[in-house]
Amino acid sequence: MEQMSSMDVDRVMGEGGASYFDGDTHVLKIRVYYEDTDAGGVVYYANYLKFAERARSALLRMGGWENGRLVRGEYPGQDAGVAFVMRRFAVDYLKSAVLDDVLDVRTRVIAVGGASLDMAQTFRRGNDILVEAVARLGCVSAMTQRPARIPNALRTDLTKLLVKG
């Protein structure tokens, strides 16, 4: 999983969207558009969950894993399709983001089980922490929706990202 200097990011990303690793932490830069805001003038509280899902998908993608391909069972060693579903999401809203902001969604893998995956996600604007969240995901069979083991190669990749301590 490659790394990108923040200079590269700034040069290319007029619009947010850059995806890279800062050590063990995945970073996705997201631009705030009108669609994300509400009449209170700030980002609507549910939309951070959209940002969070983009970031988790981007983290997987940097390791070569795409949700759609996992669901279709296309990866070597997959005998059946699997999907990650949200089991529990807890989110603290500390400060508000507004139109035109660029947010850094920082995602860390904090636990990898046989069929579960925990991630911690923080949303920053510069050095300001706006929102903090913890996600517990379950891996399920794409056919039956019953719990299913995370494919071995994927679990290996995720385990490498486990934050130490």
For residues 36 to 75, the per-residue mask of contacts with a second copy, x marking binding by CB under 8 A and - elsewhere, is -xxxxxx-xxxx-xx--xx--xx--xx---xxxx-x----
Angle at Cα 69 formed by Cα 119 and Cα 116, nearest 5°?
30
β pairing state of 25-31 and 116-125: unpaired
Block residue for tokens 């301590």? 165
User: Is 24 among the residues that bind a second copy (CB under 8 A)?
Assistant: no
* Residues between 68 and 87 with contacts to a second copy, criterion CB under 8 A: 68-69, 71, 83, 85-87
Contacts with a second copy by CB under 8 A: the residue count is: 56
Give the separation between CA 131 and CA 101, rounded to whole angstroms: 14
DSSP code of residue 43: B
CB of 116 vs a second copy, minimal distance in Å? 13
Torsion of CA 145, 147, 68, 66, to 10 degrees: 170
Q: 38 an active-site residue?
A: yes
Answer for which of 3, 6, 12, 143 binds a second copy (CB under 8 A) is: 12
The residues near 82 (Cβ < 8 Å, ≥ 6 apart) are 70, 71, 73, 139, 140, 141, 142, 148, 150, 151
The residue annotated as part of the active site, out of 8, 24, 38, 128, is 38
Query: Closest CB to a second copy among 90 and 165?
Result: 90
Catalytic residue IDs: 38
Residues that bind a second copy (CB under 8 A): 4, 8-9, 12-20, 28-29, 31, 33-35, 37-42, 44-47, 49-50, 53-54, 57-58, 61-62, 66-69, 71, 83, 85-93, 96, 98-100, 145
